[in-house]
Amino acid sequence: MAKKTKKTERKKATLGHFDHDDFLLRVGKRIKSLRKKNGFNSAELFAYDIEVSRVGMSKYETGGFDDIRMRTLLKIIDGLGITPKEFFSEGFD
């Protein structure tokens, strides 16, 4: 006789734990404030230095974007001379 196994319900992921648009806006504000704090007065020149599009950089800093590639965010963070942990250490509680 075959032994019956008990089926367990899987845990389902849900959305709605935080406001995604607000989070992206905070990412943009953080990029801009750290850029200025670190002496990079021109977003255009900073973008050029780290090989990110000038238009993209403007959108990231104003929160006018729907998405940002992880590699792009890491280039920005690296260009600021900090680590991802330092980047997210303020304003993301």
pLDDT digits (tens, 9 = 90+) for 7-43: 889 999 999 999 999 999 999 999 999 999 999 999 9
- 5 lies in a domain? no
Question: Is 49 a member of any domain?
Answer: yes
Whether residue 67 lies inside any domain: the answer is: yes
pTM of the model: 0.84
pLDDT score at 2: 66
Question: How many independent structural domains does the chain possess?
Answer: 1
Determine the pLDDT at residue 8.
87
Question: Is-contact 76 40, C-beta < 8 A?
Answer: no
Is the per-residue pLDDT at 56 higher than 80?
yes
Q: Which domain holds residue 58?
A: 20-87
The CATH number covering residue 44 comes to 1.10.260.40
CA distances for 44 relative to 16, 57, 60, angstroms: 35, 7, 12
